[in-house]
């Protein structure tokens, strides 16, 4: 698995340190707000769990599953595969994502949660690829801004694999161009 990685962009140690910083900022804003943390499966799983360990205040955890990438590296159609179990009306929502790419996924989710009457909605994303943005969304808490390369690890997959890598790396082109 590690042999398929061209280069490592962020090590586990770096990411954990960055999550410490983001958690501190979020704690300052949300400690008395009882927010709903909405994790976007499956990519945000690792980022969400690392973040949750550092948010030492009352909150609710829920998740959605939105499919946007069929089985490759090109963005596709968006559909809600798993909805929330929590009523978010009047609640402060923190959406946890792995990466904001074109932005279509988050635009879709943000609009949906807005319609349901969330008190506020902020986007927390480990990675942000602004070069690729098409939809009008911006992250509120971003771990790293990244170049337009196909990344895997720390939750991000290619064709269902590499999510369990503890770092974020660039996938070798030879892996998906064969």
From Mg ion, ligand 5GP, none, which one binds at residue 50 (CB under 5 to 8 Å depending on kind)?
A: none
| 101 lines the binding site for ligand 5GP (CB under 6 A) | yes
Q: How crowded is residue 7: how many other Cβ atoms within 10 Å of its Cβ?
A: 9
Q: What is residue 89's DSSP assignment?
A: T
| 150 lines the binding site for ligand 5GP (CB under 6 A) | yes
Q: What is residue 33's DSSP assignment?
A: T
- Give residues 24-83 in contact with ligand 5GP (rule: CB under 6 A): 43, 68-69, 75
Answer for which of 158, 165, 168, 169 binds ligand 5GP (CB under 6 A) is: 158
CB 98 to Mg ion: min, Å = 5
Q: What is residue 8's DSSP assignment?
A: E
Separation between Cα atoms, residue 59 and residue 32, nearest integer Å = 9
Segment contacting ligand 5GP by CB under 6 A, of 19-27, 88-96, 113-121, 153-161: 153-161
Which 3 state secondary structure label does DSSP give 44? coil
Q: Which is nearer to ligand 5GP, 14 or 68 (CB)?
A: 68
From Mg ion, ligand 5GP, none, which one binds at residue 15 (CB under 5 to 8 Å depending on kind)?
A: none
* Residues 64-92: b if buried by 16+ CB within 10 A, e if exposed: bebebbeeeeebeeeeeeeebeeebeebb
| 151 lines the binding site for ligand 5GP (CB under 6 A) | yes
Active site residue 101: yes
Q: Which is nearer to Mg ion, 4 or 157 (CB)?
A: 157
Q: What residue has token string 């480990």?
A: 126
């Amino acid at each position: 698995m590690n042999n398929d990685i061209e280069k490592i962009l962020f090590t586990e140690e770096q990411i954990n340190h960055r999550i410490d910083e983001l958690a501190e900022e979020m704690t300052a804003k949300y400690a008395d707000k009882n927010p709903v943390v909405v994790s976007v499966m499956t990519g945000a799983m690792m980022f969400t769990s690392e973040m949750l360990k550092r948010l030492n205040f009352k909150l609710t955890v829920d998740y959605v599953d939105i499919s946007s990438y069929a089985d490759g590296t090109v963005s596709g159609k968006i559909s809600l595969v798993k909805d929330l179990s929590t009523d978010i009306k009047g609640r402060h929502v923190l959406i946890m994502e792995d990466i904001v790419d074109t932005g279509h996924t988050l635009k879709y989710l943000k609009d949906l949660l807005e319609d349901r009457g969330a008190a506020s909605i902020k986007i927390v994303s480990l990675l942000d690829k602004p070069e690729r943005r098409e939809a009008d969304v911006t992250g509120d808490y971003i771990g790293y801004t990244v170049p337009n390369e196909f990344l895997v690890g720390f939750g991000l997959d290619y064709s269902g694999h590499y999510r369990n890598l503890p770092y974020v790396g660039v996938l070798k082109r030879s892996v998906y161009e064969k």
